[in-house]
Amino acid sequence: MSKRVKSLIEKELAGKFEAMDGVAVISPRGINGITNNQMRRRFREKGVRMTIVKNNLARRAAEKTRLKGFDKLLDGPSALIYGKSSIATIARLVMDARKANDKLEIRGIFFDGEIFDGEKGVEKVSKMPTREEAVANIVAALLGPGRKLAGAIKGPGGRLGGILKTIENKTKETEGAAAPA
């Protein structure tokens, strides 16, 4: 490959890396074309892409981006999995692909300057909440005490109202029974 072609590929990768917060790395070795296309299709449906890269070009392209340091995961044939989805979603997709294909070698995930190495690291990331799940947990935690307070305030008042209603009904019954006599 000529220097000019390498330079163009490096610029394209650097452009892709600018928008990335994190990336998963797998080895495409041992995956046939049909399985590869099926895996890419499943990823694409979730807004995730898979790109096979030359390691040296990926290292050079990542030097000036937030992905600086992920090159430790690049060893042999490498495919990068990235997208607009959260890194936890990407990890879950990679783990699902691993369950579907035993030959898939997972190298790890890189985000926030940390490397989660191997299948165990990807599994750890897949158990983290996505952004949406984290926001929902925070909202639920904030609303929980308010619900308890409203129940505590409403509960005794409701019981008192029930007692007063019963007394009122009994007085009407006794007045109604006393009037005809």
pTM: 0.68
Q: Look up the domain containing 180 and give its range.
A: 129-181
CB atoms under 10 Å from CB of 35, counted, come to 16
Percentage of the chain lying above the pLDDT 90 cut? 0
Which pLDDT score is estimated for 152? 73
Low-confidence spans in the chain with pLDDT less than 50:
181
The verdict on 124 and 140 lying in the same domain is no
Question: Which pLDDT tens digit goes with each residue over 122-133?
Answer: 888 888 877 788
Average pLDDT of the residues of the chain: 82
The verdict on 124 and 134 lying in the same domain is no
The verdict on 161 and 74 lying in the same domain is no
Question: Which of 28, 18, 9 has the alpha carbon at shortest distance from 105?
Answer: 28
The verdict on 56 and 102 lying in the same domain is yes
Among 91, 112, 128, give the residue marking a domain's end.
Answer: 128
**What Å distances lie between residue 37 and 59, 79, 86, CA to CA?**
26, 13, 22
Which pLDDT score is estimated for 123? 85
Which pLDDT score is estimated for 28? 84
Long-range CB pairs of 85-88, under 8 A, 24+ apart, other chains included: 85/46, 85/47, 85/48, 85/130, 86/130, 86/131, 86/132, 87/21, 87/22, 87/24, 87/111, 87/125, 87/128, 88/125, 88/126, 88/127, 88/128, 88/129, 88/130
Q: Any idea what DSSP says for residue 86?
A: -
The verdict on 103 and 40 lying in the same domain is yes
CATH code, domain with 33 = 3.30.70.1730
User: How many domains are contained in the chain?
Assistant: 2
The verdict on 91 and 51 lying in the same domain is yes
